[in-house]
Amino acid sequence: MSLEPFVRYFKEIGEAETRTIYILDERSDSIPKGEYALAEFYCTDRKCDCRRVMLNVISKEKGHVASISFGFDPNGSMSGPFLDPINKQSSYAEDLLQLVKDLVLSDDAYVARLERHYKMFKDKLAHPQSAGKWWKKKPRKLR
């Protein structure tokens, strides 16, 4: 299974709808002060309907600092959220996970957005010819 970023297929939407967390004060025992974007990655297997997202937490200063797996079905075997065991995690990834759980994934509108993005992504994989905005395409000439 490979994952690709949502913004690769939906650049404008992805950039406009990426959730960002700002840590405004420095604490030595917690998450460093800074800006953290939650980059959405989805499964590229056309046959898979895992209903999951990988939120890669990207620090503006340090780069990738955590990978949080989240399934949309709360009773699923791997619903999460949890730190993805395959990906590298920073020393404060656990604190980031707790922050994302408390502030971000508790927002029903944001979770609904993730599910909508998942469906858009999977639809794009199923119908790659639908690339681009249909209203900007020139109509084909009939013969």
The one-digit pLDDT tens for each residue of the chain (143 residues) are 699 999 999 999 999 999 999 998 876 568 999 999 999 999 999 888 999 999 999 998 999 999 999 999 878 777 889 999 999 999 999 999 999 999 999 999 999 999 999 999 999 988 766 555 544 455 555 55
- Which among 49, 50, 90 has a CA at the least distance from the CA of 68? 90
**What radius of gyration, in Å, describes the C-alpha atoms of the chain?**
17
Question: Which token pair is 55?
Answer: 């939120």
Q: How far is CA 109 from the centre of its chain?
A: 14
| 3 state SS of 39 | strand
In the prediction, which pLDDT does 134 show? Answer: 45
| 3 state SS of 17 | helix
Model's pTM, two decimal places? 0.84
CB 48 within 8 A of CB 118: no
Find all residues with CB under 8 Å of 118, minimum gap 6, and list them.
42, 51, 52, 53, 72
In the prediction, which pLDDT does 74 show? Answer: 79
What residues are paired with 37 via a beta bridge?
20, 58
In the prediction, which pLDDT does 131 show? Answer: 52
